[in-house]
Amino acid sequence: MSFIYRTRYVSTHTLPLLSLSQVVVGVVVESCGYSGGSGLGLSPSLKEQQQQQPRARLQRMESVPPVSRVAIFGGTHGDEMSGVCLVRHWLSDAGEVAAEISRPSFSSTPVMGNPRAVQHCTRYIDTDLNRCFTHEQLAMEVKEDTPYETLRAQEINRLFGPKGSDKAFDFIIDMHNTTSNMGNCLIVSNSADIVVLHMARYMQDICKSAISPVFLNEMAGVERCYASSVSKHGIGLELGPQPQGVARADVLIRMRKLVTTALDFLHLFNTGHEFPAGSLEVCRVTERIDYPRDSHGNLTAVIHPDLQDRDWEPLHPGKPVFLTLDGATVPYKGPSVTIPAFINEAAYYEKGLAFWATQREMLHFPALRVHGQASQAHI
């Protein structure tokens, strides 16, 4: 759909490992530390030469069809209470969609993602719903022992998809909570989706420092399996820290602000506003780090106090990551600095994940406007 120009921020430790092929396909590796600076391991003239061609392509204007149907999911995980409370509230509004999520240029549909899990205030009944939206699972034959969440994913796909088709809803906003200190995190799963990138940048502009870095959960060769992948475009809102099964007012207020800001963006887009070319810093997942465990799979260590709650802060090799039950400190053994995310998320213990290692990357993308409408204004 669009051309995205990437600048990847890595430490100087990894620079020699990267080949010129990454430049050829449009990825330029810069060594910048962790503040988005410009310190580059290449000479200025070579840098300019490499960037000239892809950057020229950013000058074009992308036009994309308007958004007509938007679904706002909560309770995709049944114990993440911000979304559960908000969807229930919007659905209870005398059968009409609450004014809070109504916009004149599109329909908004609040959806309780996993109603049975919500009823039991648990993440899921049989399996994690938010990993069920692969084409394979969506096409799976239903048997007696088919997990509830597979059935529900297929139902959601019928109602809001089919995934990857022209009939699919235009946008899904999926509300999540985490026990990690992730702040107001936006989750993007497709770095080629220019509408989502513009939305994220708009939300950063409106909410300023209240927005955490964007978490880019995109891995080569891995199909997107989230509920938000059923629609043409989708974004996840991941707010923390909040315990499972608890609704905190401060997190609820932040969630409302993010949802309404996302809807405002879509309405602006629909009504012809032009969004200029721009950039977005993201943290791209690179590696999953698990806890030390015994032969039974039980934890023999917990997140070290020096790392706890330090999501998004650079983690250097040799710095503490775990504290064993015997009192020993386990250092980070990665080859270079990483940006940890989802540190000590409750639901990830069973997934073998103590935190995600990520790398900063800068995405540059062209201007955006709605297809088929005259331009109204730059914002």
Residues engaged in binding a copy of itself (CB under 8 A):
85-86, 88-89, 92, 121-122, 179, 241-250, 252-253, 294, 298-300, 302-305, 308, 323, 325, 344, 346-347, 349-350
- How many CB atoms neighbour CB 327 within 10 A? 7
Q: How many CA atoms lie within 13 A of 253 on its CB side?
A: 4
Q: How many CA atoms lie within 13 A of 169 on its CB side?
A: 26
- How many CB atoms neighbour CB 321 within 10 A? 24
Closer residue to a copy of itself, CB minimum distance, 42 or 85: 85
Tell me if 202 sits within 8 A of 45, measured CB to CB.
Answer: no
The alpha carbon of residue 49 and the mean position of all alpha carbons in its chain are separated, in whole angstroms, by 32
Closer residue to a copy of itself, CB minimum distance, 37 or 297: 297
* Least distance (Å) between residue 321 CB and a copy of itself: 11
Closer residue to a copy of itself, CB minimum distance, 27 or 85: 85
* Least distance (Å) between residue 331 CB and a copy of itself: 15
Closer residue to a copy of itself, CB minimum distance, 115 or 372: 115
* Least distance (Å) between residue 44 CB and a copy of itself: 46
Whether the CA torsion 198, 201, 205, 206 is positive or negative: it is positive
* Least distance (Å) between residue 88 CB and a copy of itself: 6
Of the candidates 149, 238, 345, 361, the residue annotated as catalytic is 238
Report the candidate in 143, 127, 198, 137 with the shortest Cα–Cα distance to residue 163: 137
Locate tokens 């209870």: which residue? Answer: 92
CA distance linking residue 184 with residue 211, whole number of Å:
5
* Least distance (Å) between residue 201 CB and a copy of itself: 29
Is residue 223 annotated as a catalytic residue, yes or no? no
Closer residue to a copy of itself, CB minimum distance, 124 or 365: 124
Report the candidate in 320, 239, 218, 319 with the shortest Cα–Cα distance to residue 8: 218
- DSSP codes, 327-364: S-EEE---SS-BEEESTT-GGGTTTT-SEEEEEEEEEE
Closer residue to a copy of itself, CB minimum distance, 199 or 255: 255
* Least distance (Å) between residue 62 CB and a copy of itself: 38
Strand, coil or helix: 20: coil
Looking at the annotation, which residues are catalytic? Answer: 238
